[in-house]
Amino acid sequence: MTTEKHPQEPRLLPWASQDGKPCYLIGEGRGPVSDLADGLEELQLSMAVQLLDHSRAALNRPESPTPTELLFITNRLTESLSDAVRVADSRGRRLDQALHAP
């Protein structure tokens, strides 16, 4: 009886290359790069929660945020949302793979 090993789909990493292209990790999901990616994903999601709290507070102040503040908040929220979508995509792919593993 032959056991056929199915290769894992490369892991989408929580950072991009210098030219903005996605980076992937090929392997079993263990090791220093995988640990670094796990830590960065946690940091990105934690920062997103903090940014969301800050944004809500700024928008709920009695005085309206200035246009400069709104631009800053919008830019940071856009960056944070991009990070969170990448984390969700990466984790979703790994979850799907785990659910469909033989």
Express as a percent the part of the chain with pLDDT over 70. 93
Which long-range contacts (C-beta less than 8 Å, at least 24 apart) are formed by 21-24? 22/86
> The whole model's pTM is what?
0.82
Mean pLDDT of the region 66-73 = 95
Q: Please write the tens of the pLDDT for every residue from 30-62.
A: 899 999 999 999 999 999 999 999 999 999 999
Determine phi and psi for 32, rounding to 5 degrees. Answer: -65, -35
Mean pLDDT of the region 69-92 = 96
pLDDT at 46: 97
Cβ-in-10-Å burial (0-12, 13-18, 19+) of 11 comes to buried
- More confident call, 11 vs 9: 11
Does 4 score more than 70 pLDDT? no
pLDDT at 7: 59
Does 80 score more than 60 pLDDT? yes
